[in-house]
Amino acid sequence: MIFLIVLIADIAIKTKYDISVYRFLSKISLSVLLLLYYNFCQREKYKIKRFFMTAALAFFLIGDVFFILYEVELYYIFGIFSFAFGKLFYVFKFSNQSDFKLKRLLPVILFCFTLMMVILYLINGNLNNFFFPTLLYLFIVTLFVIFAFLRKGLVNEKSYYVVLLGVFLSILADSLAALSSFYSSKIPYHAIGVMLFYGLSQLFIVLGVLQENNIKNSELN
């Protein structure tokens, strides 16, 4: 509830002030709340998995700071890399030792590849120095989606679908951010949409992961 109130406040501040002391406080507070909530509530069996999740949230916090200063090109690039590392640590958290069939992944890979190609086609002409950071980011997003999908059957359904909802919202946020930054800044309500989808995606991923931590081994099959 507190997170949602802060998220709404941050969106209001973003639309009115964009870059301000208030924006730093509101946006950073979101990541800090998730970090504190996760570490307070988690019951992770393996310390390395807890580290991966904490590192992911920490990199998103760092990225939030850089993206507030998006008008400076170098900071924007640092923001992209910070979010890329954040999603990469999510990949490490989602990973497991189970085998999987490539056939099962084909629809997910096709979806990610198609979406990536469409976005690159639309924004490629305006990327310039952002081309390689964006390409790397999209590749990591693909891994992020694949490994979230591969949790099916290894965690309880509630955890799986809540995390998957967070992943879907993250894709919406990333797509809208890329299009509004490099394709057209006139997309209606893009500032609200990006922050709303991003904030909710982080919340659902954390909630889903915490639910996973509470399941018993006997429930995994």
What's the confidence (pLDDT) of residue 218?
42
Structural contact between residues 199 and 7, judged by C-beta atoms closer than 8 angstroms: yes
What's the confidence (pLDDT) of residue 214?
42
Count how many residues are written for the chain.
221
Ranges of residues in the chain with a pLDDT under 70 are 18-20, 97-102, 213-221
> 12-28: per-residue pLDDT in tens?
888 877 666 788 888 89
Domain ranges of the chain: 2-219
- pTM for the whole thing? 0.88
> 91-132: per-residue pLDDT in tens?
999 887 665 666 778 888 898 889 989 999 999 888 888 899
What's the confidence (pLDDT) of residue 98?
66
What's the confidence (pLDDT) of residue 213?
54
What's the confidence (pLDDT) of residue 91?
93
